Amino acid sequence: MVARALASTSHPVLAQIVPARFCNLSCGYCNEYDKVSEPVPTDEMLRRIDHLGRLGTAMIGISGGEPLTYPDLDDIIRRMRKVGAIAGMITNGYLLNVRLNRAGLDHMQISIDNLVPDEVSKKSLKVLDKKLQMLADYAEFHVNINSVVGGGFKDPNDALVIGRRALELGFESTIGIIHDGDGQLKPLKDDEAKVYFAMNNRKKTNYAQFDKFQQAIAEGRPNDWRCRAGSRYLYICENGLVHYCSQQRGFPGVPIAEYTTADVKREFLTAKACAPNCTIGCVHRISHIDHWRAPQTSTISPGADGAHGLVQISTGD
């Protein structure tokens, strides 16, 4: 996948797609769910995945809402594999079962925030530990347990316990930082930062630049980077529209059925004004593949008043 991504910049590396905005939980920090939406019809979901295949998308991740509430989830996963994409999903884990082996799932991320449920999050180790043991025994796909800090949890050290349990079961363990309603930085408190660095220091990435990037986020400092959202990373909402990410919905706001390679190439070269203070980890990781090439030549300010189009960056000529 990495070799393919390096060979060409004219296709998405990762697309996250939403088949259902409904979620069985109500976490206090989340702005990506509701309690009323019907699932997207299966035939329409399959068409959207076909369009991602048309664009040459390397990985497709199912997001939400809660993907496991979707009635035909297996069919979606099979279609993702059929179009040649690596198939992944993000889940709260409450409705887990082993049927996903048969569907051909490649990767699952489970969000666990605390040791016991509270008013902020019901995604607790106490509730999910038996599900994790089941996955350790039977899952044929890669499992990552992700925790977050900065969301008002009673004890940030819960993340360390969750991380250790994940490693005991043979899973990967990661940690992220809660953002505000626009995906922007919320500096960590001292105890939260201590936990964040303790989790990340267990293993360094192969990229010193990316490690520094993550440290700046934890310290509430802006980063100078090239966001490739709308190009290398796509977010497709339940209405079938392409957005930069879950927190910048509305830009570019084009139906996936109409999205073309020309759109991918344009957005690759478009700087996003929200990038310096962004905490959206999946966009960071995917964009990091191309951090060394193709300076961006235009800019857009998602969410800003009057931001309806691109503004050319002055080259000083």
In this predicted model, what pLDDT tens digit does every residue of 89-136 receive, in sequence order? 999 999 998 789 999 999 999 999 999 999 889 999 999 999 999 999
Contact 224, 271 (CB under 8 A): no
**Band of pLDDT at residue 304, cut at 50, 70 and 90:** low
3-state helix, strand, coil in the chain (%, to 5): 35, 20, 50
In a domain, 179, yes or no: yes
The pLDDT value recorded for residue 66 is 96
User: Which CATH number does the domain housing residue 31 bear?
Assistant: 3.20.20.70
Average predicted confidence (pLDDT) for the chain: 88
The pLDDT value recorded for residue 28 is 82
pLDDT for 181 beyond 70: no
pLDDT for 209 beyond 80: no
In a domain, 40, yes or no: yes
Which residues does 205 contact at the CB level (< 8 Å), separation at least 6? 211
In a domain, 305, yes or no: no
Rounded CA separation 221/213 (Å): 9
Q: Tell me, rounded to whole angstroms, the distance of Cα 20 from its chain centroid.
A: 16
Using a pLDDT cut of 90, give the percent of the chain over it. 67
The pLDDT value recorded for residue 281 is 86
Mean pLDDT of 74-93: 97
Among 27-31, 212-216, 261-265, top mean pLDDT goes to 261-265
Using a pLDDT cut of 70, give the percent of the chain over it. 88
Core vs surface per residue 16-38: b (16+ CB within 10 A) or e: bbbbbbbbeeebebbebbeeeee
pLDDT for 309 beyond 70: no
Closest CA to 95 of 112, 70, 118, 64: 70
The pLDDT value recorded for residue 86 is 97
The pLDDT value recorded for residue 183 is 56
Closest CA to 193 of 217, 164, 168, 170: 217
Among 25-39, 52-66, 181-195, top mean pLDDT goes to 52-66
In a domain, 232, yes or no: yes
pLDDT for 79 beyond 70: yes
The pLDDT value recorded for residue 189 is 86
The pLDDT value recorded for residue 97 is 81
The pLDDT value recorded for residue 211 is 65
The pLDDT value recorded for residue 73 is 97
In a domain, 314, yes or no: no
Phi first, then psi, for residue 100 (nearest 5°) are -65, -20
In a domain, 8, yes or no: yes
Q: Which two tokens stand for residue 83?
A: 């179009």
Between 199 and 5, where is the model more confident?
A: 199
In a domain, 236, yes or no: yes
The total number of structural domains that make up the chain: 1
In a domain, 302, yes or no: no
The pLDDT value recorded for residue 225 is 93
Contact 63, 17 (CB under 8 A): yes
* Residue-range definition of the domain harbouring residue 101: 2-264+278-295
